[in-house]
A and B are shown apart, each in its own frame.
Chain A
Amino acid sequence: MSYAKRILHLDLSTGKTEIEPLKDEMTKKYIGGIGLGIRLLLDHSKPGMDPFSPEIPLIFATGPLSGTMAPTAGNSYAVVSKSPASGGVGEAKSHGFFGAEIKRAGYDVFIFKGKAEKPVYVWVDDDSVQLMDAKHLLGKSPAETEETIREELGDLYIRVAAIGPAGEKLVKIACILNDTTRAAGRTGMGAVMGSKNLKAVAVRGTKDVTVAKPDEFREFVKMLHERMKGPATTKYRTLGTPENVLVLNSLGALPTRNFTNATFEGAEKVSGEYLNKRFVAKIIGCSSCAMRCEHIAVVPEGPYKGTTSRMEYEPLWALGINCGIDRLDAIIKAMSVCNYYGMDGIGAGVIVGFAMDCYEHEILTKKDTDGLDLRFGNYEALLEMLKKMGTREGLGDILAEGVKRAAEKIGKGAEKYANHIKGLEMTGYDIRGLKTAALGYAVSFRGADHNRHGAYAPDVKGSVDRFKAEKGRGKLVREIEDLYTIIDSLILCKFSRGVYYETFKDLAQYYTLATGIEVTPEELQVTGERINNLARVFNVREGFSRKDDHLPAKVMSTPIPDEVVSKGSYVSQKELNLLLDDYYEVRGWTKDGIPTIEKLNEIGLNDLAYIVKPKKEK
């Protein structure tokens, strides 16, 4: 049985701990990771709470495979709380080594509530849980924090998840980093942690993790290892996600200069091909993984010589292409600055891209930027702006609020340059010409996101007409969403998604071999649906409805101008309406995007009917 069956509650205000047994019903219905985390968030919070109020729980949830040799899932944890970016579900997963350590210490979940009087870190040494003074760690980067804690506690195998200066200062794109390079990046979980005066969580676990059927489990994992050496993961093992740069560029789907263009003239210079040839020193792997995808880039010469960072497409896009920057050395430097302050590289790049767009349109001037020439392509200005955001200095203080609130504060029409959905910054797909993806982005429960639905896949592969909004896309999005919530509840790495050839069938078998809990592929699919509905219901409770399933202003108003196959494409309100109607229908939701009581009953969420009821009677 691969669950530890224990939840650790820690009240940071009082220092009191409590162990709650994790009920079988919870594991069956919500699995682990984001599923379990979102359910616990809903149960342990009241409607309308401020994400920074001490009562809001900050949840670290492992999955049933964490702590086992399951490749990618063995090492993971999910962070769940209320997002300070969207006010809805906040969740982010991270891999590396940290997640396994939680399980080995004997817990499935940590729930942190309250607010420590002074900055602290939590030290979980198997059954011993202590609050430690963190005054000396303030201002340190997550990596420095990790190193310092390991040194002072005297054990190399202690795993640490920490926030940087940005999290301390409640920067809304603050993330939580563990094992130097791995981040629970999106939705501002680091800011929630900072609001609790919690600098880091250090864990050392020495207990056994077992699975229900060890021999069969081992054979299953062996099969996954073989598949991971095959074509399903080639991209991640070779060029890595930066391969996307040239692919999306050729499709006219590479958002450039804050979605001004959909192709980038400097694409070759920031391509995955060039990154690997010139900068990647080694491709490493997380604990238990048989793929290894982590491209560690080192700048070999020039002003940023020696800068080292993991590089992936999304932050490369945000900090580079989206800011019109075509120098990889500067982009690697920018990524390392984000890691230093503990900021989501995607959000950070989108915010600076937005500020550059405002500057180009004279909404922001040198007066606002403290003299920085914040035009597109100015990499030195980018680096300076990132620091200002991480420390909330000057304009950085406004930008640290996230692109949506920053635009509101700046005013003067800045909103139309703010690329976000539900307050969460956009990611690197120009969805003006990827209309299945556009629907996926609009309805994603954590805001602008490609990882809740992966609906760019049918568009990019050409299995649908990507320039057309039509009925049927709702079903496509729903199906991938229901699979992705299972992936994120087992907390498998999405880079490995291609190796589960028979999706729910493989995953159901995997789950059963580890936990001993019998589940059919069909039941698992319903669980995927349940978790999507659960997240939606949480958002409904916080006031979300159809109006929040929107797209960034530029996506709906400015056709792609480039001389490329996607020229002229954008998503009109009429098209979005059609897509949403279709999606809500296949979801069994009302026209306003609210799950119906019948739907909730059907998927075992009867007890949440009270949330959707009043709205239905209106």
Chain B
Amino acid sequence: MAVRPARKFVSADPEKCVGCAVCEYVCSLEKEKVFNPTKSRIRVVRLHPLINLSVTCRLCEDAPCVASCPRDALEQSEETGVILIDEEKCNGCGWCIEACDYGAIMLHPETRVVFTCDLCDGEPKCVEWCPEEALDFVTRDILAQKARITVVKKLFQEAMKTVPG
């Protein structure tokens, strides 16, 4: 079986994200030339001053939003994994919204069809602007690598101090 290229998506680090919503502003400005979080492809959730996270499309393998659409308006790009929306077919019924576990696909307040993160043609503006560098444009493999490096650094805290350089 052919190996599919690893998909990169936008992921927020819960340790770093402070819920400032700069990503929402940048996204709505980039995509719609206005400031309006309800038109942003990435949304911030603050449950408590200490609990903040930006959430956007995670480009699921075998995306449930695509499968849930009764009108076949959604399709996942083989190459990038981005969810492509046929605005002619979409009637805003919202099955995909319910199917998404992350609230990453939303109904547009004006066009009344759904929209989601398109990764800004491979250069996500939110990642570029995030003041905390909490957003990463990464593959799942790189996220796993980072987690491994962090845990090893923690385990070898003392030894790390003596490593030259």
Interface size class, chain A: 35 or more
Residue contact A208 to B35, C-beta cutoff 8 Å:
yes
Residue contact A214 to B50, C-beta cutoff 8 Å:
no
Residue contact A286 to B20, C-beta cutoff 8 Å:
yes
Residue contact A207 to B49, C-beta cutoff 8 Å:
no
Q: How far is the CA of A104 from the CA of B20 in the complex (A)?
A: 17
Q: Of the listed stretches A287-295, A360-368, A390-398, A503-511, name the one at the interface; the rest are far from the partner chain.
A: A287-295
Tell me the smallest distance from the CB of B55 to a CB of chain A, in Å. 12
Name the CB-closest residue of A to B34: A208
Whether B18 sits at the interface, judged by CB under 8 Å, is yes
Residue contact A284 to B18, C-beta cutoff 8 Å:
yes
CB contact between A156 and one of B21, B35, B45, B48 (< 8 Å): that residue: B45
Whether B4 sits at the interface, judged by CB under 8 Å, is no
CB contact between A218 and one of B29, B37, B45 (< 8 Å): that residue: B29
Q: Of the listed stretches A19-27, A67-75, A428-436, A590-598, name the one at the interface; the rest are far from the partner chain.
A: A67-75
Residue contact A284 to B21, C-beta cutoff 8 Å:
no
Name the CB-closest residue of A to B109: A206
CB contact between B50 and one of A68, A211, A289, A308 (< 8 Å): that residue: A308
Residues of chain A with a CB closer than 8 A to B35's CB = 67-69, 74, 208-211
Whether B137 sits at the interface, judged by CB under 8 Å, is no
Whether B131 sits at the interface, judged by CB under 8 Å, is yes
Tell me the smallest distance from the CB of A406 to a CB of chain B, in Å. 33
Residue contact A180 to B34, C-beta cutoff 8 Å:
no
Interface hits, B112-152 → A, CB 8 Å: 129, 131-132
Whether B52 sits at the interface, judged by CB under 8 Å, is yes
Name the CB-closest residue of A to B47: A156
Residue contact A288 to B29, C-beta cutoff 8 Å:
no
Tell me the smallest distance from the CB of A233 to a CB of chain B, in Å. 11
Tell me the smallest distance from the CB of B34 to a CB of chain A, in Å. 4
Interface hits, A15-72 → B, CB 8 Å: 67-69, 71
Residues of chain A with a CB closer than 8 A to B109's CB = 206
A505-530: CB near B (< 8 Å → 1, else 0) gives 00000000000000000000000000
Residue contact B131 to A284, C-beta cutoff 8 Å:
no
Residues of chain B with a CB closer than 8 A to A285's CB = 18-20, 131-132
Residues of chain B with a CB closer than 8 A to A218's CB = 29
Whether B96 sits at the interface, judged by CB under 8 Å, is no
Q: How many A-B residue pairs have CB under 8 A?
A: 84
Name the CB-closest residue of A to B26: A69
Contact (A281, B50) CB under 8 Å given A69-B26, A225-B129, A292-B132: yes
Interface hits, A77-99 → B, CB 8 Å: 97
Residue contact B50 to A296, C-beta cutoff 8 Å:
yes
Name the CB-closest residue of B to A214: B33
Residues of chain B with a CB closer than 8 A to A613's CB = none
Whether A382 sits at the interface, judged by CB under 8 Å, is no
Whether A310 sits at the interface, judged by CB under 8 Å, is yes
A interface, by DSSP: helix, strand, loop or mixed? Answer: loop
Whether A572 sits at the interface, judged by CB under 8 Å, is no
Residues of chain B with a CB closer than 8 A to A74's CB = 25, 35
Whether A616 sits at the interface, judged by CB under 8 Å, is no
Whether B36 sits at the interface, judged by CB under 8 Å, is yes
Contact (A284, B45) CB under 8 Å given A68-B35, A225-B129: no
Q: How far is the CA of A222 from the CA of B129 in the complex (A)?
A: 8
CB contact between B36 and one of A207, A211, A228, A308 (< 8 Å): that residue: A207
Residue contact B45 to A228, C-beta cutoff 8 Å:
no
Q: How many residues of B contact A (CB 8 A)?
A: 25
Interface hits, A157-180 → B, CB 8 Å: 157, 180
Q: How far is the CA of A207 from the CA of B151 in the complex (A)?
A: 44
B10-44: CB near A (< 8 Å → 1, else 0) gives 00000000111110011001001111111100000
Residue contact B36 to A294, C-beta cutoff 8 Å:
no
Interface hits, A207-241 → B, CB 8 Å: 207-211, 214, 218, 222, 225, 228-229
A267-291: CB near B (< 8 Å → 1, else 0) gives 0000000000000011111111111
Tell me the smallest distance from the CB of A340 to a CB of chain B, in Å. 15
Whether A181 sits at the interface, judged by CB under 8 Å, is yes
Q: How far is the CA of A286 from the CA of B22 in the complex (A)?
A: 9
Residues of chain A with a CB closer than 8 A to B21's CB = 97, 287-288
Which one of B22, B32, B45, B132 has the greatest number of beta carbons of chain A within 10 Å? B22
Residue contact A283 to B18, C-beta cutoff 8 Å:
yes
Residue contact B29 to A284, C-beta cutoff 8 Å:
no
Name the CB-closest residue of B to A290: B131
Residue contact B49 to A294, C-beta cutoff 8 Å:
yes
Residues of chain A with a CB closer than 8 A to B36's CB = 104, 206-209
Residue contact B19 to A284, C-beta cutoff 8 Å:
yes
Q: How far is the CA of A68 from the CA of B26 in the complex (A)?
A: 10
Name the CB-closest residue of B to A281: B50
Residues of chain A with a CB closer than 8 A to B52's CB = 284
Contact (A290, B49) CB under 8 Å given A210-B35, A225-B131: no
B46-65: CB near A (< 8 Å → 1, else 0) gives 00111010000000000000
Residue contact B29 to A214, C-beta cutoff 8 Å:
yes
Residues of chain B with a CB closer than 8 A to A69's CB = 22, 25-26, 29, 35
Residues of chain B with a CB closer than 8 A to A287's CB = 20-21
Name the CB-closest residue of A to B25: A69
Q: How far is the CA of A283 from the CA of B132 in the complex (A)?
A: 11
Residues of chain A with a CB closer than 8 A to B22's CB = 69, 71, 288-290
Q: How far is the CA of A346 from the CA of B25 in the complex (A)?
A: 34
Tell me the smallest distance from the CB of B30 to a CB of chain A, in Å. 9
Q: How far is the CA of A284 from the CA of B49 in the complex (A)?
A: 7
Residues of chain B with a CB closer than 8 A to A310's CB = 49
Residues of chain A with a CB closer than 8 A to B48's CB = 180
Give 8 CB contacts A-B under 8 Å.
A67-B35, A68-B25, A209-B36, A210-B33, A210-B35, A290-B20, A308-B49, A308-B50
Q: Given known contacts A67-B35, A69-B25, what 4 new A-B pairs fall within 8 Å (CB)?
A: A74-B25, A284-B19, A285-B132, A308-B50
Chain B positions within 8 Å of A, measured between CB atoms, are 18-22, 25-26, 29, 32-39, 45, 48-50, 52, 109, 129, 131-132
Q: Which 9 A-B pairs have the closest CB atoms?
A: A69-B25, A208-B34, A285-B20, A290-B131, A284-B18, A209-B35, A287-B21, A285-B18, A208-B36
Chain A positions within 8 Å of B, measured between CB atoms, are 67-69, 71, 74, 97, 104, 156-157, 180-181, 206-211, 214, 218, 222, 225, 228-229, 281-292, 294, 296, 298, 308, 310
